[in-house]
């Protein structure tokens, strides 16, 4: 029987979605299954699992495991065969965002000569360039580069390190990133080597690390986290920026734009630009 590729989506509260994701991880039959988990709506506490089974058996097993969680709402969509097969064969496709080309090893041959090429493998850290928030940050940074160079850059919530590495590859002398997740810090440092870039990453909550204080003040801060921590960090980010310095904020949903913007306006920032991508918003704000 021909298998018709599917995407299974399960939505529900964070604790339930996380428990279901652990159940997928623990299921021997689903060892090779591809899925992601992310927060869809912070205010309503809706988290979402997207799973991409590659066989009928895998699809059935995924649905069985997810069905054990009564608070998850399951939907299944048929995917266009050609797209899905191409993705399964070649891994995640490369992403172009302005001058940046984010690719995995399997797409090495597709690197454009004119682009700033960033090699980022899909793995245990967030930030392969496929998410609307990462693309939003890269697009915003790409536009800022048309007029400025940024000597000192801080990347809060670095994930794979893609943003700080992008900065290091475009003239930044001091690029430092933090992540609260030690695996992301390790992966970011590995990606730095893979890209022969000069950036370093440290394990920290927000900006709370001596290396971050040592390199301050910054010309540019990237912060792609979530709305609530972005608001909580507004005071520290202001303190870490030079006058006239810029912050690129992402990880907020469009519906949260006013909440985040309001916090930064009240800390003496002005809005330079905003980018909407899918449900996500990226804000570029300048310290005045
Ligand atoms: C949405 S990902 C962004 C990754 C990458 N910067 C990008 O743009 O693709 C958010 C990252 O922030 C990290 N994070 C969440 N809260 C944090 C905090 N308080 N301090 C530092 N990192 C944090 C997460 O572990 C995750 O790696």
- Tens-digit pLDDT profile for residues 9-41: 999 999 999 899 889 988 888 877 777 777 777
Structural domain contains residue 102: no
User: Does the Cβ of 188 fall within 6 Å of ligand 1?
Assistant: no
User: Does the Cβ of 159 fall within 6 Å of ligand 1?
Assistant: yes
Question: Are 175 and 37 contained in the same domain?
Answer: no
Query: Of the residues 136, 180, 192, which should be mutated to test ligand 1's pocket, given the most ligand atoms within 8 Å of the CB?
Result: 180
**How big is the chain by its Cα radius of gyration, in Å?**
20
Task: Report pLDDT for 86.
Answer: 46
Task: Report pLDDT for 55.
Answer: 84
Structural domain contains residue 51: yes
Helix (H) or strand (E) holding 213: helix 210-215
Question: Are 19 and 143 contained in the same domain?
Answer: no
Ligand 1 centroid distance, CA of 166 (Å): 16
Question: Are 277 and 158 contained in the same domain?
Answer: yes
Q: Is 251 annotated as a binding residue?
A: no
Question: Are 142 and 231 contained in the same domain?
Answer: yes
pTM of the model: 0.73
Q: How far apart are CA 21 and CA 16, in angstroms?
A: 9
Q: How far apart are CA 159 and CA 182, in angstroms?
A: 10
Nearest one of 176, 185, 183 to 219, comparing CA atoms: 176
Question: Are 42 and 137 contained in the same domain?
Answer: no
Question: Are 139 and 278 contained in the same domain?
Answer: yes
Query: Of the residues 132, 135, 154, 159, which should be mutated to test ligand 1's pocket, given the most ligand atoms within 8 Å of the CB?
Result: 159
Strand order through the sheet with 152-156:
200-203, 174-179, 152-156, 218-224, 241-253, 280-287, 269-277
Strand order through the sheet with 6-12:
35-41, 46-51, 6-12, 73-78
Q: What residue's CA is closest to ligand 1, atom 9?
A: 127
Structural domain contains residue 181: yes
Task: Report pLDDT for 33.
Answer: 73
- Nearest 5°: the CA angle 168, 155, 223 is 140
pLDDT tens column, 37-84: 777 777 888 888 888 787 888 999 999 999 999 999 999 987 755 454
Question: Are 274 and 224 contained in the same domain?
Answer: yes
Structural domain contains residue 120: no
The CATH number for 283's domain is 3.40.50.150
Task: Report pLDDT for 26.
Answer: 86
189-220 burial, b if ≥16 CB within 10 A, otherwise e?
bbbbeebebebbbbebebbeeebbeebbebbb
Q: Tokens 């003239």 appear where?
A: 171
User: Does the Cβ of 181 fall within 6 Å of ligand 1?
Assistant: yes
Mark the ranges of the chain whose per-residue pLDDT is less than 50.
Answer: 82, 84-90
Last residue of a domain, one of 38, 65, 89: 89
Task: Report the percentage of the chain scoring pLDDT > 90.
Answer: 66
Question: Which atom, in ligand 1's list, is nearest to the CA of 178?
Answer: 21
* Domain of residue 12, residue span: 6-89
Structural domain contains residue 162: yes
The CATH number for 18's domain is 3.30.70.600
Question: Are 141 and 84 contained in the same domain?
Answer: no
User: Does the Cβ of 197 fall within 6 Å of ligand 1?
Assistant: no
Q: Is 134 annotated as a binding residue?
A: yes
User: Does the Cβ of 178 fall within 6 Å of ligand 1?
Assistant: yes
Task: Report pLDDT for 22.
Answer: 87
Structural domain contains residue 40: yes
Exposure on the CB side of residue 234, measured as CA atoms within 13 A: 20
Q: Is 68 annotated as a binding residue?
A: no
Last residue of a domain, one of 41, 64, 89: 89
- Nearest 5°: the CA angle 163, 165, 166 is 65
């Amino acid at each position: 029987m021909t298998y018709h590729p599917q995407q299974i989506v399960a939505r529900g509260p964070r604790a339930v979605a996380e428990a279901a994701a652990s159940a997928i991880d623990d299921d021997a039959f689903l060892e090779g299954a591809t899925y992601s988990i992310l927060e869809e709506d912070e205010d309503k506490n809706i988290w979402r699992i997207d799973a991409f089974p590659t066989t009928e058996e895998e699809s059935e097993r995924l649905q069985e495991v997810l069905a054990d969680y009564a608070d998850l709402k399951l939907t299944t969509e048929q995917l266009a065969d050609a797209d899905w097969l191409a993705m399964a064969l070649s891994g995640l496709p490369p992403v172009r965002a302005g001058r940046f080309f984010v690719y995995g090893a399997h797409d090495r041959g597709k690197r454009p000569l004119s682009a700033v090429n960033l090699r980022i493998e899909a793995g245990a850290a967030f930030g392969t360039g496929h998410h609307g928030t990462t693309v939003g940050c890269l697009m915003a940074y790409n536009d800022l580069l048309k007029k400025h160079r940024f000597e000192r850059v801080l990347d809060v919530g670095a994930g794979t390190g893609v943003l700080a590495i992008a900065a290091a590859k475009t003239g930044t002398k001091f690029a430092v990133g933090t992540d609260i997740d030690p695996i992301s810090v390790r992966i970011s440092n590995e990606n730095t080597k893979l890209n022969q870039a000069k950036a370093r990453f440290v394990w920290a909550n927000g900006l709370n690390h001596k290396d971050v204080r040592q390199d301050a003040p910054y010309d540019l801060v990237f912060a792609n986290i979530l709305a609530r921590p972005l608001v909580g960090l507004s005071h520290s980010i202001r303190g870490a920026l030079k006058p006239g310095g810029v912050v690129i904020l992402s990880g907020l949903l469009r519906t949260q734009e006013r909440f985040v913007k309001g916090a930064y306006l009240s800390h003496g920032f002005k809005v330079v630009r905003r980018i909407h991508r899918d449900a996500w918003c990226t804000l570029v704000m300048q310290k005045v």
